[in-house]
Amino acid sequence: MLDIAEELHRWVEQGRDFAVATVVAVGGSAPRPTGAALAVDAGGTVVGSVSGGCVEGAVYELCRQALQDGETVLERFGYSDEDAFAVGLTCGGVIDVLVTPVRAADPVRPALAAALAAAARGETAAVARVVSGPAQLLGRALVVRADGSRTGGFGGHPELDRTAAAEAGAFLDAGRTGTLETGERGSRCGALLTLLIESSVPAPRMIVFGAIDFASALARAGKFLGHHVTVCDARPVFATPARFPDADEVVVEWPHEYLARTAVDARTVLCVLTHDAKFDIPLLRLALRLPVAYVGAMGSRRTHLDRAARLREAGVSDLELSRLRSPIGLDLGARTPEETALSIAAEIVAVRRGGTGTSLTGAHTPIHHDGPPAGWSLAHPRGGAGPLVGRTGPS
């Protein structure tokens, strides 16, 4: 739901009633991840997507029905060999979709409005909703912010509120969206219920070092992938906003000095395009010791061997060097800046999602991977459990 927060926040401010359908679990080759959402307002306007088109019509009708009767429902969509023309996923996957009415009088509206407002402003917040469990809990939500403050709750279940808040805080720390099971009253005992926790965190950073034409193309690719892009170079004549219109910021500073003072985290991507030892060595010596997601460096294989030798002389261990992606990017045969940016972006996605980078044609590897390797925390890592048990929709 938070993936369409800006539009839904406008709807809330305009006083519109709407229903939102959220993917709460996926299986197989499902086209959209957990957390993907489609919303329909009282006038029939649609925003978002839950399946890339396969079942949007059926989900639209479920949202319209929820607006009429006020009922929250869990619906499953899959592929049926018996009836290939039934409403379902032609890709062969399975998705479970939670449909929630968000009308003026619905108890869930204040909490969801708070979550949408925070996400629309780019703030850190998580919202927890009951996916399966007692009917009286399905229309409620709990919002947790980075400072620990809360909005909403599960209506007279303080222990469940505390448990959900603690779990939401953990999801926020990792930037995760997914589901978990807990007891009906917040303990591990008693009847189980399933919580969906959606996180909204600031965009992951991509820092591009080296104000060259390849950096301009990579900045565009980084923005396309949803990163907050910084271009850094010590040469003021090259590091100008006019040369990098797609970057969120352009910094004129020695690369290693900037990296030492700026904030990075487990989602940060560092791309070193300078291929000049006086910049590269002090920069990479620091970068390879930071808890970031990706460190790549441009250069030929000869440049890489020379760079690795210099880094060892500078005290970088073989274990630290093993983190370096060099030469940077996947083997696409790239030549132009745009093609090179594509190869770098493809490698970043492969590392992020645990992909192999090999051609899918003739391969037997999965098209969609469950998630990134350990150590990579995503802005919206839509991984998690398999399909939930709920009402069975058309298949």
Angle between helices 5-13 and 109-120 (to 10 degrees): 120
- Furthest-apart CA pair in the chain: how many Å? 71
d(CA 114, CA 202): 17
User: 10 and 119 in contact (C-beta within 8 Å)?
Assistant: no
Angle between helices 213-224 and 337-353 (to 10 degrees): 40
Strands (E), the chain: 18-27, 37-41, 46-48, 73-77, 94-102, 125-132, 141-145, 150-153, 178-183, 192-200, 205-209, 228-233, 249-252, 269-272, 294-297, 324-325, 391-392
Say if residue 167 is in the same domain as residue 261.
Answer: no
Q: Which has the higher per-residue pLDDT, 367 or 152?
A: 152
Say if residue 194 is in the same domain as residue 226.
Answer: no
pLDDT tens-place string over residues 14-68: 999 999 999 998 876 666 788 999 999 999 999 999 887 678 889 999 999 999 9
CA 28 from chain center: how many Å?
A: 19
Indicate the pairing of strand 73-77 with strand 391-392. parallel
Say if residue 194 is in the same domain as residue 240.
Answer: no
Say if residue 334 is in the same domain as residue 209.
Answer: yes
Say if residue 152 is in the same domain as residue 123.
Answer: yes
Q: Is the pLDDT of residue 368 over 90?
A: no
| Helix, coil or strand: residue 88 | coil
Say if residue 214 is in the same domain as residue 333.
Answer: yes
Say if residue 142 is in the same domain as residue 8.
Answer: no
How far CA 344 is from CA of 32, 246, 286, 338, in Å, comes to: 24, 17, 21, 10
> Is 376 part of a structural domain of the chain?
no
Neighbours of 107 (CB within 10 A): 13
Q: Which has the higher per-residue pLDDT, 10 or 78?
A: 10
Residue 55, domain extent: 1-104
Say if residue 144 is in the same domain as residue 195.
Answer: yes
> Is 272 part of a structural domain of the chain?
yes
pLDDT tens-place string over residues 183-192: 766 655 556 8
Say if residue 86 is in the same domain as residue 155.
Answer: no
> Is 29 part of a structural domain of the chain?
yes
User: 225 and 246 in contact (C-beta within 8 Å)?
Assistant: no
How far CA 338 is from CA of 32, 107, 344, in Å, comes to: 27, 49, 10
DSSP state of 360: S
For the question of whether the overall pTM of this predicted structure is more than 0.95, the answer is no
Q: Give phi and psi for 184, each to the nearest 5.
A: -55, -35
Nearest CA to 232 out of 213, 214, 202, 256 is that of: 256
Neighbours of 209 (CB within 10 A): 29
Summarize the confidence of residues 7-20 as an average pLDDT.
96
CA 272 from chain center: how many Å?
A: 24
pLDDT tens-place string over residues 188-214: 555 688 999 999 888 899 999 999 999
| Helix, coil or strand: residue 223 | helix
Q: Which residue has the tokens 């760079």?
A: 307
Q: Is the pLDDT of residue 90 over 70?
A: no
pLDDT band at 81 (very low <50, low <70, confident <90, very high): very low
Say if residue 329 is in the same domain as residue 212.
Answer: yes
Say if residue 210 is in the same domain as residue 349.
Answer: yes
For the chain, how many structural domains are there in total? 3
Strands (E), 187-309: 192-200, 205-209, 228-233, 249-252, 269-272, 294-297
pLDDT band at 386 (very low <50, low <70, confident <90, very high): very low
Q: Residues near 44 by Cβ (< 8 Å), separated by ≥ 6?
A: 64
Cis before 327? omega within 30: yes
